[in-house]
A and B are shown apart, each in its own frame.
Chain A
Amino acid sequence: QSALTQPASVSGSPGQSITISCTGTSSDVGGYNYVSWYQQHPGKAPKLMIYDVSKRPSGVSNRFSGSKSGNTASLTISGLQAEDEADFYCCSYAGSSTWVFGGGTKLTVL
């Protein structure tokens, strides 16, 4: 069970859109529609932003969207805002009731 692969960092200017990728295998990301994304501000607990690949929990801005193609899932943030600056983690079901996280991506708002 290897960690999912995410870029270490991404950046964008306010108002722009950015996309964070999350690459796994056919045994996790590609095999199930249980990909989720979490936002973590420094010193805080992670917050669920996307689940089941593309669904948003109540209260999460519609500027956040998720998708998946093959073994790669993606999180897109549109209309980037300063408060979006945080670490983002993807997570996927990996079969047999096990879960695997990505290594995390640091988003910088320029």
Chain B
Amino acid sequence: QLQLQESGPGLVKPSETLSLTCTVSGGSISSSYYYWGWIRQPPGKGLDWIGSIYYSGSTYYNPSLKSRVTISVDTSNNQFSLKLISVTAADTAVYYCANLNDAFDIWGQGTMVTVSS
């Protein structure tokens, strides 16, 4: 059974870089069946797709975040990562990682990231 787990700092200062990692267990991140994605949810608001990556390293980003986002994959550790630069309070959210086939099938539990000085 595929499982995903987000990890990273829960507090980031404004203008700094948010970095999160998603560890995949119960399956290989190099599977040709899946893409892997990041989704976020600001407090009390809806879901927002951040971006996706294929195991080969091909990346796809939400146009509204594209200038600040980098998603990368580490096949040796079965992980993929999110970096968001120049964060502001508007980036405060629960960040989820998920596997993506025709839909976001399996989700991590989510990790709350607060942007504050």
- Chain A residues in contact with chain B, CB under 8 A? 1, 3, 34, 36, 38, 45-48, 51-52, 57, 89, 91, 96-104
- Chain B: minimal CB distance from A54 (Å): 12
Within 8 Å of chain A (Cβ to Cβ): is B75? Answer: no
Q: Which residues of B contact A (CB under 8 A)?
A: 35, 37, 39, 46-49, 52, 60-64, 96, 100-105, 107-110
Could you show 18 A-B contacts with beta carbons less than 8 Å apart?
Answer: A1-B63, A36-B104, A38-B47, A45-B96, A45-B110, A48-B104, A48-B105, A89-B46, A89-B47, A96-B60, A97-B60, A98-B63, A99-B49, A99-B52, A99-B100, A100-B49, A104-B46, A104-B47
Q: Are B102 and A38 in contact (CB under 8 A)?
A: no
A52 to B39 alpha-carbon distance, docked (Å): 19
